[in-house]
Amino acid sequence: MGEIKIIIWIVLGIIYLVSRARKKQVPDSTAAPVEDYREDKPVTFEELLKEIQATKAPEPQAEKQLEPVAEYQTKDYDDDLRDEKEPLEQTDYNYKDHDTIYETYEKARQEAFLRPSMEETMKLENTIVRFGQFKGYEQQIRPSLAKEYGRELQDTTNFRKAFILSEILNRKY
């Protein structure tokens, strides 16, 4: 039974292929010719634009004198190309020949021995001495809260504070 189904499907496939081939060979004379773009080459944007413009009815134009349009000259940019094998950068470039920074450095190095040093130019009279100038930036050390309570508990006059503190810390419930 399974072989009969396979044979029937094969026969139906062959009939379908033959009917498709006959439709392509015999064109229908009553139908208008329709171009099938999918079987040929793909349609470009320019071709579609031409078809759309062809379907539009041309508008009647009043007779006008049109000015002649200047023709543009085309230039072939491929003529100006250099040989691709040329290097993109100059490999024999010497920075010392073109930059003045080396000359400036050498000149300053030679003049350094002729100038007086910092020790020679500095005088004690020119030095401003201000004591305590940075005192505002020092951190103040504050005693911790436990040290304050310890100090207060050691004092006998503060018995009342100590008693209240003990009641707070040692709760009964």
pLDDT (tens digit per residue) in 24-64: 775 555 555 555 545 567 778 788 778 888 777 556 565 66
CA-CA-CA-CA dihedral for 168, 170, 171, 173, to nearest 10:
170
Block residue for tokens 């039974």: 1
Which residue stretches of the chain have pLDDT < 50? 37
For the chain, how big is the Rg over CA atoms in Å?
A: 52
Long-range contacts of 89-95 (CB under 8 A, 24+ apart): none
pLDDT at residue number 63: 61
pLDDT at residue number 37: 47
User: In 10 A of CB 165, how many CB atoms?
Assistant: 14
Residues in the chain: 173
pLDDT at residue number 131: 84
